[in-house]
Structure 1
Amino acid sequence: MKPWTLLADRTVVLFLGVAAGAAIGLAFAHGGQPWPQVATPKDTTAPIIPAPVPTPAAPQPMPQTAGVECAMPFQQQLLDTVAAKGKIRVGVFGDSFGDGLWSALYRQLPASADYQVVKYSQQSVGFTRYASLNLEEHTAEQLAADGPVDIAVISFGANDTQGVYANGKAAALFSPEWKHVIGGRVDGLVRLLRSKGAMVYWVGLPKMRKDSFDADIAQMNAFYAERMKMLGVPFIDTAPLSVDASGAYAPYLPDGPEGKRTLMRANDGIHMSMPGYVHITRGLADRIRGYVEAARSFAGKDDKIVQASAL
């Protein structure tokens, strides 16, 4: 096979900045059916059997080139896919919010452009709910059944604004013990996906309508953003894309070049409408396309190197 590993240190991935473009047309439906919604998280703590807490991975540097954001060198999985001219598999992992992200990315990264956006998200799951579903084990089973993904998009948190039972005692929400347990599980999921060759992105949650819930979600976003910084994973902050000019929750936001007033939120004050999901993922879709095109360009340069070396 081509000498990817010998060339990987010659380049880094150029990422496009996160765009805050307006959403496409008004449509809060998927396949003619209302979009599935998750129930508002409860404040009660559900006892669970704790999973082993892995040691956090060492921070991975995010090199900078000419002031433009870059990430890690190309993953071998993606390089192999583009070399074989295969479809880029984008796996979306998360809860019901992840369902919305999947639908939005499916529309923006179509099969006609050689993408395959796969839904691995599932309603009513989270890192505090391992008694009902261990996310690391479940993801490992999904990948074993379907094969690896080139790019993984992750979003959790709306179901995790509660304490967790671990090490024989309850840990309150955002307490040091809670952060240790949940952080270990988050790290384990990211490491699992990377070990299977995926480039990982984490998508944060938007502004919430209920003030008390929004305060928890803002703290949750900060926790995940710091964790992703430690792991060298791009964190996509969607909160600024879900508010009005004053920074307040807004069910309607300007859309399109003419700024047409468009419904961006679901009735529960938690989820987005379909145009809303497209709105908050447009920048991510741009970044994925940029990453893939850079990998294709890199693969093309390698082809020329290999051809020249054979002369």
Structure 2
Amino acid sequence: MSRVTRCLVTAVLIALSVIMVEPHSSVRAATTAPSRCLLRPALQLAPTDPPSAPAQPNRCTILAIGDSVGLDLGIGLTREFANQKAVALVSRGVISTGLVHDSFYNWPAHLTNYLSRWHPDVVVVCVGANDHSPIYTNGRSVPLLTLPWQAAYQARIRQIANIVHRYGAQIVWVGVPVSSTG
């Protein structure tokens, strides 16, 4: 395993024990439920969609999604958890995607399908490597890193987090590694 992959895997494993994206205040909290995974959330959210298939007892399902960096992270996590029967890992990274250009690949729509199909306990998200351009919202382009761009990007992050929480899963958001520009 390469050094970069090892670092990403280590970061995710650490994040699995300490980091969660909090749901928006409009997302209704339910009673705390026992978790089969490493995280013990402060609150568990009730799914708004039809009930999912029963999860296998004592098995934690992790869904790893993201752009090409997220794809590499999913590969590393798959290797890392390959011999752990208590963990089922599903990796769904898509090259050249992100949150800025949702007309190319709509992460919220695909995420909803993934959650319905695999019913994960934890969703690991790694996007951002391709999000270094203007964001399109309400039919117009918003310049990169302006306050309106930041607000629109934050709204897309919150949308992803709220979808995950509505399905009763926990979310771990992994930042894109810093790389040199020259």
| TM-score, structure 2 normalization | 0.69
| 2:81 aligned with 1:109 | yes
Q: For residues 92 and 43 of structure 2, what CA distance do their matches in structure 1 show?
A: 23
Count of residues paired in the alignment: 147
- Structure 2 unaligned spans of 5+: 5-22, 28-38, 47-53
- Structure 1 unaligned spans of 5+: 1-24, 29-55, 61-69, 212-311
Residue deviations 1:35-65 (CA, integer Å, cap 9, x gap): xxxxxxxxxxxxxxxxxxxxx82399xxxxx
Q: For residues 172 and 3 of structure 2, what CA distance do their matches in structure 1 show?
A: 26
Amino acid at match of 2:132: T
**Among the aligned pairs, what percent are the same residue?**
23
Q: For residues 127 and 99 of structure 1, what CA distance do their matches in structure 2 show?
A: 15
| 2:109 aligned with 1:137 | yes
SS at match of 1:120: strand
Aligned to 2:156: 185
Aligned to 1:73: 42
Please state how far the C-alpha of 1:88 moved relative to its aligned partner.
Answer: 1.2
| 2:136 aligned with 1:169 | no
Q: For residues 69 and 125 of structure 2, what CA distance do their matches in structure 1 show?
A: 10
Q: Once superposed, what is the RMSD of the aligned Cα atoms?
A: 3.0
Which aligned runs of 4 or more in structure 1 are off by greater than 3 angstroms? 25-28, 74-77
Higher helix share: 1
Structure-to-structure mapping, 1:272-311, within 5 angstroms: none
Aligned to 1:160: 131
Indicate the structure (1 or 2) with the bigger Cα radius of gyration. 1
Structure-to-structure mapping, 1:112-123, within 5 angstroms: 112-123=84-95
SS at match of 2:63: strand
| TM-score, structure 1 normalization | 0.42
Q: For residues 169 and 129 of structure 1, what CA distance do their matches in structure 2 show?
A: 12
Structure-to-structure mapping, 1:1-311, within 5 angstroms: 57-58=24-25, 72-73=41-42, 75=44, 81=55, 85-144=57-116, 146-210=117-181
Amino acid at match of 1:117: L
